[in-house]
Amino acid sequence: MSTDVAATERTKIFTHVSKTLIELFELDSHDIKPQARLYEDLDIDSIDAVDLVVELKQFTGRRINPDDFKSVRTIDDVVNAVERLMQR
């Protein structure tokens, strides 16, 4: 995958994750930054995290292994996990 294509794909994933966080959890778009911590900065709890994973499953059309998301802490971690999932 070329660098431009990879960057475009990452941007699409980040945009989708951002929109999802805003819509599902009524977050302010100004709070959505790659380094934002889901639990500490955005007040996402474990139930919210499950909702996010369910939505990401619909977005990717792929089964998501919960272990893939155990180490996710930031929005950038979510983007990385989704990117890896889509490359399988």
Q: What is the mean pLDDT of residues 7-14?
A: 93
* CATH number of residue 52's parent domain: 1.10.1200.10
Give Rg (Cα) of the chain: 12
Count: domains in the chain: 1
Nearest to 34 by CA among 55, 17, 52: 17
Question: Which distant-in-sequence residues (6+ apart) come within 8 Å of 56 by Cβ?
Answer: 17, 20, 64, 78, 82
Q: What is the pLDDT of residue 49?
A: 92
Q: What is the mean pLDDT of residues 2-16?
A: 86
* Band (6; pLDDT cuts 50, 70, 90): confident
Residues 56 and 14: beta-carbon distance below 8 Å: no
The domain of 44 spans 3-87
Structure-token pair, residue 53: 């994973």
Task: For 21-64, write each residue's pLDDT tens digit.
Answer: 999 999 999 999 999 999 999 999 999 999 999 999 999 999 88
Give the pTM: 0.89
